[in-house]
Each structure stands twice: as C-alpha cells, then as structure tokens.
C-alpha cells in the first residue's frame, strides 16, 4: 500500500473527484479472493504510473455510501475516473495488460 491511497466515504470527493490526474479506484473487500488476486497488480500500476495516475483502494464493506453511489454490485471492480467523472470500469480479476489498456490513453495526456 506504499503507492496507493485509502479511499473512504469521507474523503472520496476530495481524493478522487477533485484529483488533477486520472484515478484508478479499486473497490474491494477483505473477504474477497479475486480482490486479493488483483491487489498486487493494482499496487504495481500505482508504482509504475506514479505522478500520472492516482490509485485509490476503497473497502466496500467499510465505505458503502460510495459503492452504492456508483452502483458497485460485484467486486473487485476497478473504476477509472477522470476530471471528476467515472469514464470506464473493469469488473473482476483481470490481467495487468487489460487494466493498462484502459488507463494508458488517460495517463498519456498527463505531463
């Protein structure tokens, strides 16, 4: 969790919606096996795209308001936000290349 930010119901608007760089939000829960599978990939992306992409991990058990607001019904869900809007999402544990293919166009516009 060195390169990721913990998201909560309280800080979500500030950390995600008001971010000046694109944000990848990992909606997860401690009991979710596939979430644990995708976690190292998310951490790796946070390190590799440091400064160009903010990576936020949001525990849906502890922060249900945000999960409900964005209609998160299954986890892991990776929400991709840009300029305060959700622009894309990925449901389930997927390979790193699939996540990168969705975030690369957004981070290329960040200097």
* Total number of domains in the chain: 1
**pTM exceeds 0.85, yes or no:** yes
Examine residue 83 and state whether it is found in any structural domain, yes or no. yes
Is residue 32 annotated as a catalytic residue, yes or no? yes
Q: How far apart are the first and last CA of the chain?
A: 24
- Under 8 Å between Cβ of 63 and 9: yes
Choosing from 16, 25, 32, 42, which is the catalytic residue? 32
Side-chain-side CA neighbours of 82 within 13 Å: the count stands at: 16
Choosing from 15, 23, 35, 66, which is the catalytic residue? 35
Give the model confidence (pLDDT) of 28-72 as tens digits. Answer: 999 999 999 999 999 999 999 999 999 999 999 999 999 999 999
Examine residue 22 and state whether it is found in any structural domain, yes or no. yes
- Chain centroid to Cα 104, Å, comes to 14
CATH of the domain at 80: 3.40.30.10
Examine residue 68 and state whether it is found in any structural domain, yes or no. yes
Per the structure, the complete domain to which residue 30 belongs is given by 5-101
Is residue 35 annotated as a catalytic residue, yes or no? yes
Please state, in angstroms and as integers, the Cα–Cα distance from residue 54 to each residue in 11, 32, 59, 73, following that order.
14, 23, 16, 23
């Amino acid at each position: 969790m060195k390169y990721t930010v913990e998201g909560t119901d309280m800080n979500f608007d500030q950390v995600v919606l008001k971010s000046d760089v694109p944000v990848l939000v990992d909606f997860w829960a401690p009991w979710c096996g596939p979430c644990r599978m995708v976690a190292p990939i998310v951490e790796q992306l946070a390190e590799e795209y440091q400064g160009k992409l903010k990576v936020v991990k949001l525990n849906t058990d502890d922060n249900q308001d945000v999960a409900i607001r964005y209609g998160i019904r299954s986890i892991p869900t990776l929400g991709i936000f840009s300029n305060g809007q959700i622009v894309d999402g990925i449901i389930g544990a997927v390979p790193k290349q699939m996540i990168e293919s969705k975030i690369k166009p957004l981070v290329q516009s960040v200097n």
